Structure 1
Amino acid sequence: MASLSLINVPFLLVISLSIVTSSMVASANNFYQDFDITWGGSRGKILDNGELLTLSLDNISGSGFQSKKEYLFGKIDMQLKLVPGNSAGTVTAYYLSSIGPIHDEIDFEFLGNLSGQPYILHTNVYTQGKGEREQQFYLWFEPTADFHTYSVHWNPSAVVFSVDTIPIRVFKNLESIGVAFPKTQPMRLYSSLWNADEWATRGGLVKIDWTQAPFMASYRGFSSSACSLASAKPSCVSSMPNYSPWLSEQLDPLGERRLRWVEKNYMIYNYCTDAKRFPQGFPPECRAIS
């Protein structure tokens, strides 16, 4: 396994703050201002003057929240501390999504585990209502012991998933070969903690142990540099050429090396290598990067 010392190398996939203007969202650390608890009643709580949010799950209900704003392209960061102990059967979902049957979606899902077993980080990308682009990873740290930052950097050329600034997945814009890309539908940021024991842990073989309830996930350190929706159209679309340095940002060579390191050491499933799923041939995006 690769040395963890690689994690200490600075990550150069950044957004140039010099190009942020009033038509961009720049927010941090106030859940009262940025989010609404949308279900679960008192199981979702905003605490510490808006700096901390918690979701919980019991045998009656889970809970969830969503952002007040919608985004079209941006860099979204959130610090999460996952459900500790025996979390088998639970899923903590953290994702961007539009609405409707042909929605776009960018997913982080954390699949719970038996005590002592690793969490599985499940990722997916939906475009125009089509998903089934799963990649799964183990993490190189214990995600229940402290907060870690999970990020989406989404621009017209790619969607980059990162963990503590380490890129773990890139979904590139391959419209040139007929692959839809999320670029026209604004998305809200959502998160939920819910009962998924029909599939989440060992394919549903391990069920939730309700004697361990309530299960709790914690959130802090939300920040965004993003185009937000002020009305029916994104407020920064009309001046997008002014943001071209940010909108065209891509992984630099260091970022590419770190991505390869994660793929080699921590990826446990990639739909683009699952030949049994695609007897008629892999999807075009898989063939393009093979």
Structure 2
Amino acid sequence: LGNVRGKDWRIQTNVYGNGSTTRGREERYLVPFDPTEEPHRYSILWTPDYIIFYIDDVPIREVVRSDAMGGDFPSKPMSVYATIWDGSSWATSYGRIKINYKYAPYVSEFSDLVLRGCRVGPIQQVDSADRCAEAVEELMSADYALLTPRKRAAMRRFRERYTIYSFCYDQHRYGNVTFPDCDYVSSEHSRFGEWGDNKFPPKEVRRARRRSRKPSAVDDQPSK
């Protein structure tokens, strides 16, 4: 999502099911580094049963498929693309702070892009389950697809430390609707207001960012 000049950088994850954009599942986080100083690795594992988001090999979010989600869980062939666009109407303090074009041009650099899975033709809407079975099995048996207790502990630490918005607690937008893929934790709920924003945003992130510490160096340590 970018940042306000001199402030911490933000990142957002979201899940849309089968082309529907009427009910997003946004989460936003502060990141303990400045992404303009050095490259970082961003990964998404999408399987028929769950989706995991990673930053520098540290899992930051897991979405588990359930019958209650219905068509909200992505199940159609997808493509990958990158773009830069002005989202300041909502990304920075709900539009209070607009983008400053005097800092243009804005540039993103990508390298070492890797796509693994079952390839689908550009006009092919439904792929053969039999043909994709081997690719899916390979994905789900890979090391990055297995959330060990150590990885889950690292994910929990990241989420507790850096999450600043969760759709799970956004009563203004969704009322009292409960989502089957939300892990409602009473201690976590008390930290979020009716708009889904963290009422107690982390204060130590900027100090960590100045030291250019990656999440893997901070969060992926065994619990004592």
Same fold (TM over 0.5): yes
Q: In structure 1, what is the equivalent of residue 91 of structure 2?
A: 200
Change (3 A) 1:273 1:211: same
Cα drift, residue 253 of structure 1? 1.5
User: What is the identity percentage for the equivalent residue pairs of Structure 1 and Structure 2?
Assistant: 28
Q: In structure 2, what is the equivalent of residue 124 of structure 1?
A: 14
Do the aligned partners of 2:9 and 2:30 also contact (CA within 8 Å) in 1? yes
- Aligned residue among 109, 113, 126 for 1:218: 109
Greater helix share, 1 or 2?
2
Cα drift, residue 191 of structure 1? 0.9
**In structure 1, C-alpha distance between the alignment counterparts of 2:151 and 2:126, rounded to whole Å:** 29
Do the aligned partners of 2:42 and 2:56 also contact (CA within 8 Å) in 1? yes
Q: In structure 2, what is the equivalent of residue 244 of structure 1?
A: 137
Cα drift, residue 236 of structure 1? 6.8
Name the Cα RMSD after superposition.
Answer: 2.3
Do the aligned partners of 1:138 and 1:268 also contact (CA within 8 Å) in 2? yes
Change (3 A) 1:200 1:132: same
Kindly tell me the number of residue pairs found equivalent between the two proteins. Answer: 177
TM norm structure 2 = 0.70
Change (3 A) 1:273 1:199: closer
Question: Secondary structure, in 3 states, of the residue corresponding to 2:137?
Answer: helix
Greater strand share, 1 or 2?
1
Cα drift, residue 142 of structure 1? 1.3
Which structure 2 residue ranges, 5 or more long, are not aligned? 186-224
Cα drift, residue 235 of structure 1? 6.7
Do the aligned partners of 2:118 and 2:132 also contact (CA within 8 Å) in 1? no
Cα drift, residue 195 of structure 1? 2.0
The answer on 1:285 being equivalent to 2:181 is: yes
TM norm structure 1 = 0.55
Alignment of 1:20-39 (within 5 A): none
Cα drift, residue 259 of structure 1? 0.9
In the alignment, residue 163 of structure 1 is paired with which amino acid?
I
Do the aligned partners of 2:2 and 2:11 also contact (CA within 8 Å) in 1? no
Which structure 1 residue ranges, 5 or more long, are not aligned? 1-110
1:235-288 Cα deviation digits (max 9, x unpaired): 7732444353533644222221111011111111111123333333322333x6
